[in-house]
């Protein structure tokens, strides 16, 4: 599904990723953990194609395509979804209207008929129910005035409607209380399937108690320094990240 080779990424003249290697097969859930500043979110945003993140080396192959050659919207229509760490507030753009446009853009690409307003609402209401998201969220402007928890739930709601092939969750757990965390995790778990893969970026082990990963990778200073199974997350919980940092790498 996804083959990342020696990926190097720079943000504003600062080298952040220094050669990431990662292979994700269909149906797998990979957790990317690491201390602040290790490059976790940079990795997520680079996969989504954020224009501020300049790829200076390496390759990313997604389902046989060169992912880096695609614009962010093309990636999305090909089934890559990133749940934002900080979902953007967009006053004046209706959440349902936007989501319908996004879904139809993807359906069009897949050669499917666009959904009309009625079919779309039927689909959406079913997803809302599963995620315990209030219907009023649909009629509000995208993320505007949403609480932190509402924003994250809205991201997962978008994901549920868009049904991506590869979902990248960028610190979706940050700022969530335990109830919201459970709802979000349930939403993700409900979507796990042999055809769909997840990359879950998180600082804390806590999320992985709810979304149980197949693999855990530890990122430090722009490289994956350790990979392992679920037990690696528990080890990190116990020991902290200090050991991952090469001496003198941080002030």
Partner 1 sequence: METLVPAAPVWVKQRRDAAAKHFAAVGFPNTRLEDWRFTNVSPIAEANWPLAQGGFSQAAALTAAVSIPGAVRLVIVNGRFAAGLSDLSTLPKGLRIASLRDGARDATDGIETHLGKVFSIATHPFAALNTSFLDDGVAIMATKGAIVETPVHIVVVTGGETPVVAHPRVLIVAGENSQVRVAQTFIGSPDTAYFNNAVIEVVVGPSALVQLYTDQRESDQAFHVANIQAHVEAKGVFESHAFSTGARIMRHDIGIGLKGEGADCTMNGVYLADGERLMDTHTSLDHAMPHCTSHEIYKGILAGKGRAVFNGRIIVQLDAQKTDAKQTNRALLLSDEATINSNPQLEIFADDVKCTHGAAVGQLDEEAMFYLQARGLNRDAARDMLLHAFAGEVIQGLKIPALREQIEGNFFARLREDTRAGV
Residues whose CB is less than 8 angstroms from the CB of residue 101 and which lie 6 or more positions away in sequence, other chains included: none
> Between 199 and 238, how does the x/- string for binding to partner 1 read (CB under 8 A)?
----------------------------------------
Instruction: Render 106-133 in DSSP notation, one character per residue.
Output: HHHHTTPPPP-HHHHHHHHHHHHHHHT-
Which stretch, 18-26, 77-85, 185-193, 231-239, contacts partner 1 (CB under 8 A)? 77-85
Which of 34, 58, 87, 213 is close enough to bind partner 1 by CB under 8 A? Answer: 87
SS3 83: strand
| 29 binds partner 1 per the rule CB under 8 A | no
Per CB under 8 A, the list member of 49, 58, 187, 213 interacting with partner 1 is 49
The token pair that represents 122 in the structure block: 């039927």
Considering the complex, what minimum distance in angstroms separates the CB of residue 44 from partner 1?
Answer: 11
Q: Pick one of 31, 162, 169, 233: the residue that binds partner 1 (CB under 8 A).
A: 162
Task: Classify 173 as helix, strand or coil.
Answer: coil
Please say which residue, 112 or 249, places its beta carbon nearer to partner 1. 112
Tell me the closest approach of the beta carbon of residue 104 to partner 1, in angstroms.
Answer: 9
Q: H or E element: which one contains 113?
A: none
**Angstrom distance (rounded) from CA 119 to CA 124:** 9
Taking phi over 0 as left and psi of -120 to 50 as alpha, with beta for the rest, 144 belongs to beta
Three-class secondary structure of residue 156 per DSSP: helix
Least distance to partner 1, CB of residue 86, Å: 9
List residues binding partner 1 (CB under 8 A): 48-51, 71-73, 75-77, 81-82, 84, 87-88, 90-93, 98-99, 101-103, 105-106, 109, 141-142, 158, 162
């Amino acid at each position: 599904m996804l083959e990342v080779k020696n990926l190097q990424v720079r943000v504003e003249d600062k080298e952040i990723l220094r050669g990431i290697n990662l292979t994700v097969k269909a149906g797998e859930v990979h957790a990317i953990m690491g201390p602040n500043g290790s490059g976790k979110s940079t990795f997520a945003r680079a996969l989504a194609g954020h224009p501020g993140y300049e790829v200076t080396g390496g390759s990313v192959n997604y389902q046989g395509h060169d992912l880096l050659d695609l614009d962010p919207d093309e990636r999305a229509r090909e089934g890559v979804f990133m749940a934002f760490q900080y979902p953007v507030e967009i006053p004046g753009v209706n959440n349902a209207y936007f989501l319908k446009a996004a879904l139809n853009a993807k359906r069009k690409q897949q050669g499917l008929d666009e959904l009309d307003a009625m079919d779309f609402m039927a689909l959406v209401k079913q997803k809302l129910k599963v995620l315990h998201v209030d219907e009023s969220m649909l009629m509000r402007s995208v993320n505007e005035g949403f609480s932190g928890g509402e924003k994250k739930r809205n991201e997962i709601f978008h994901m549920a409607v868009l049904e991506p092939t590869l979902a990248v969750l960028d610190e979706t757990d940050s700022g969530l209380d335990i109830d919201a965390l459970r709802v979000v995790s349930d939403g993700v778990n409900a979507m796990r399937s042999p055809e769909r893969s997840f990359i879950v970026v998180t600082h804390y082990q806590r999320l992985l108690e709810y979304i149980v990963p197949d693999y855990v990778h530890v990122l430090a200073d722009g490289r994956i320094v350790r990979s392992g199974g679920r037990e690696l997350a528990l080890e990190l919980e116990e020991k902290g990240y200090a050991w991952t940092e090469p001496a003198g790498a941080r002030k």
